[in-house]
Amino acid sequence: MSSTHPHITPLKVYFLVFATLIAGTWLTYFVAYKDFGWLNTPVAMAIAIVKAGVVVLYFMHVKWQSRLTMMFAAGGFIWLFTLFAFTLQDYFTRSWMPLYQ
Amino acid sequence: MSSTVATPAAEPRTNYLNVDYGWKSWVFSTDHKRIAVMYLITIAFMILVGGSFAILVRLELATPAGDMLQSETYNKIFTMHGVVMVFFFLIPGVPAVLGNFLVPIMIGAKDLAFPKVNLLSYYIFLVGILLTLLAAAMGGIDTGWTFYTPYSSTYSNGQVALAAVAVFITGFSSILTGLNFVVTIHKMRAPGMTWFRLPLFIWAHYATSLIILLSTPVVAITIVLVALERLFHVGVFDPTYGGDPVLFQHMFWFYSHPAVYIMILPAMGVISELISAFSKKRVFGYPVVAFSSLAIAVIGFFVWGHHMFVTGQSTYAGVVFSVITMLVAVPSAIKVFNWVSTMYKGDIWMTTPMCFAIAFIGLFTVGGLTGIFLGTMGLDIHMHDTYFVVAHFHYVMVGGMVTAFWGGLHFWWPKMFGRMYPENMGRVSAAIIFIGFNMTFFPQFILGYMGMPRRYHFYPEEWQVLNVLSTAGATLLGLGYLLPMVYLPWSLKFGKVAGKNPWAAKGLEWETDSPPTTFNFDKVPVVTEEAYAYPEGARHQPEAKVV
């Protein structure tokens, strides 16, 4: 929960997050040269999501914030998801049979 | 003996206006009230700029031949009208002026949560304005305020990049204001000010702020993508590079449809306050009206595809968007029914703000119902990009938001500046605006239904009568808007001194001085009753009605 004192994160955590991000970047580069078929995009996205997650949780201190702040942070991602989902419903159904022929 | 004792009336108390007179005390002020006044002056200037463009449009359309402006110039004029009015008046109008001034006072706080961020927000807004005016001076843009690709990203020769940067920057002003409101409403409410004691104005601003925070970043990134495509040929929207122009519309309307609610929700908050104060009754169904603001904010995010029924979007996606569009009408209708129910058996006092509030209900209802027409796919195919659409969104935005803005400004004017405006002039102005507005835009419904397309400056002769009527109405409307711009500043010096609560209304803002002190209250107020706690059967004092 929130408190009047800001959370002090040990430097070690920052270095670990930095190492994770570098490793993630290397992994992204590595998998870009492998062919996973239809999984190519999901794999790249999964790595990106993990990287974004550690940035949000540790660099942006959301991990130590109140539930209200967490809810707002999560709200942004949920809304991003709705943007993708409702846009893709257009793209995925464009090739369907027309309603009237 | 009494002559040596200074009475409070003879020696006005220090307030936010007279605490300091130096120019630095204004331009570096972090007082939310002074920032609101700076916004008010800036926005008033932008109304004049945007209004001038509107007058040119209507003058051109007074005759069927495109004889006053060239086609390209006409395109630039209506684009600048849209850009200026949408981004620099309709979106910030109520939140940045009335919201900035009133949100802290209404919840019993000294200021917003981040006063310096509030000032930063104002200056970002100012930079956005300057860049837009620069774009206009350097040749303007002709894309329409929607910046649709591929015209904007590939073909337009205007100052699209500069205008896009201006809109991008202005978006951050909006985001910072929204952030400030959310944190303030969550964290700085006075003791006893529970969520369900909050005025509906606050609920509306809270819902609006959520929309601003969740949607504005999307339009910002969309504009960045347009810039990347123009500069580096990254294929996002241009089919030549593997992009899709319809994707731009998805991303643009993901912001710009909720932006309609950014404009109208705070206006609805204003109307709830006005109806309650001048009917001397608690708002009927308070919790439902509060939640309807949140419902509009949430559902409003899932309807954007109704702008794209005829632009290549899948029919199946169109059906989904159409159905959800019908749903968003429900919370809007709840508000209208509840305002009318609030007035029922109330002691209605027809002040200028109440005249504006009643005008709002009528005009917004027409605007909302015609939105149902346009949200219906079959009808939209006939009416898309016609004057029916122009009339519809002007009924919502101008008939709705602008009417509420004037109503709110008159209502809180005595609080903001400590002076009463001339009431009869106010009523005359409200009447002129109502008549002028309907004369301007109702003929456009008919023109649109007959097939007159928007964005053309010539048309068949048989449509001239309705167009002339519309232009005549616009002249009247312009006069109606100019009147308050004259008598409101006049009242600052010559208006009757207003007391703390000239309307005998409920709310924390009416318990502090007019104008308020720098920190709003001498001591932190403690709230012990619900919002609008008018006694059953309350009546306005007869002498008050003489105002």
Q: Residues B25-36: pLDDT tens digits?
A: 999 999 999 999
Distance CA B367, CA B448 (A): 14
Contact between A60 and A76 under an 8 Å Cβ cutoff? The reply is no
* CA contacts within 13 A on the Cβ side of A93: 16
The pLDDT tens digits of the residues spanning B280-306 come to: 999 999 999 999 999 999 999 999 999
Q: How confident is the model at residue B257 (pLDDT cuts 50, 70, 90)?
A: very high
* Residue B542 clears pLDDT 80, i.e. is over it: no
Using an 8 Å CB-CB cutoff, list chain B residues near A96: 314, 316
Which pLDDT belongs to residue B12? 66
The answer on pLDDT for B115 being more than 60 is yes
With DSSP H G I counted as helix, E B as strand and the rest as coil, what are the percentages for chain B, rounded to 5? 70, 0, 30
H/E element holding B137? Answer: helix B115-137
Q: What is the DSSP string of A26-91?
A: HHHHHHHTS--GGGHHHHHHHHHHHHHHHIIIIIT-GGGS-HHHHHHHHHHHHHHHHHHHHHHHHH
What per-residue confidence (pLDDT) applies to B230? 79
Q: Is 80 exceeded by the pLDDT of residue B544?
A: no
Query: Average pLDDT over chain B, rounded to whole?
Result: 93
- Of the partner residues A68, A86, A92, the one whose CB lies closest to the CB of residue B302: A86
Q: What residue ranges do the domains of chain B occupy?
A: 29-531
Task: Find, among B411, B415, B419, B414, the residue nearest to B516 by Cα.
Answer: B415
* Alpha carbons B505 and B521: distance in angstroms, whole number: 17
pLDDT for res B538: 86
> Looking at residue A95, what is its pLDDT?
85
Distance between CA atoms of residues B512 and B505, nearest Å = 12
Report yes or no: B260 and B92 within 8 Å, Cβ to Cβ.
no
Cα–Cα distance for residue pair B164/B141, rounded to 1 Å: 10
Report chain A residues whose CB lies below 8 A from the CB of B320: 86, 89
Mean pLDDT within A80-86: 94
Token pair belonging to B272:
């709830």
Under an 8 A CB cutoff, do A82 and B302 touch? Answer: yes
- 3-state SS assignment for residue B521: coil
Q: Which residues of A touch B213 (CB under 8 A)?
A: 72, 76
Give the three-class secondary structure for B374.
Answer: helix
- What are the tens digits of pLDDT across the range B25-79? 999 999 999 999 999 999 999 999 999 999 999 999 999 998 899 999 999 999 9
Residues in chain A: 101
pLDDT surpasses 90 at B434: yes
pLDDT tens-digit readout, B319-371: 999 999 999 999 999 999 999 999 999 999 999 999 999 999 999 999 999 99
State how far the Cα of B414 lies from the Cα of B491, in Å rounded to an integer. 10
pLDDT score, position A2? 46
Q: Domain B29-531 falls in which CATH fold?
A: Cytochrome C Oxidase; Chain A (1.20.210)
Which chain A residues are within 8 Å of B321, Cβ to Cβ?
86
What is the number of CB-based contacts under 8 A between chain A and chain B? 50
Identify any residues that bridge with B386 across adjacent strands, giving them in sequence order: B453
Q: A89–B302: do the CB atoms touch at under 8 Å?
A: no
| DSSP result, B68-124 | SS-HHHHHHHHHHHHHHHIIIIITTIIIIIIIHHHHHHHHT-SS-S-HHHHHHHHHH
pLDDT at B13 (0 to 100)? 80
Task: Report the percentage of chain B scoring pLDDT > 90.
Answer: 87
> By C-alpha distance, which of B163, B173, B101 is closest to B135?
B163
Q: Shortest CB distance from B254 goes to which of A76, A83, A99?
A: A83
pLDDT of residue B92 exceeding 60: yes
Give backbone dihedrals phi and psi of B497, rounded to 5 degrees, phi first: -65, 130
Mean pLDDT, to the nearest integer, of B195-208?
Answer: 97
Residue in B186, B218, B320 nearest the CB of A89: B320
Chain A residues touching B251 at Cβ < 8 A: 83, 87
Split at pLDDT 50, 70, 90, the class of B154 is: confident
Whether pLDDT at B3 is above 80: no
pLDDT value at residue B5: 46
| B168 closest CA partner among B115, B226, B111 | B226
Residue B386 has pLDDT above 90, yes or no: yes
CB-CB contact of B396 with B264 (8 Å)? yes
User: B541 to chain A, minimum CA–CA distance in Å?
Assistant: 45
pLDDT score, position A5: 65
Strand, coil or helix: what is B497? strand
Average pLDDT, chain A: 89
pLDDT number for residue B393: 97
- pLDDT of residue A19 exceeding 60, the answer is yes
Q: In this predicted structure, what is the pLDDT of residue B124? A: 98
Report the C-alpha dihedral over residues B297, B302, B308, B310, rounded to 10 degrees. -130
Rg of chain A taking only CA atoms, in angstroms: 19
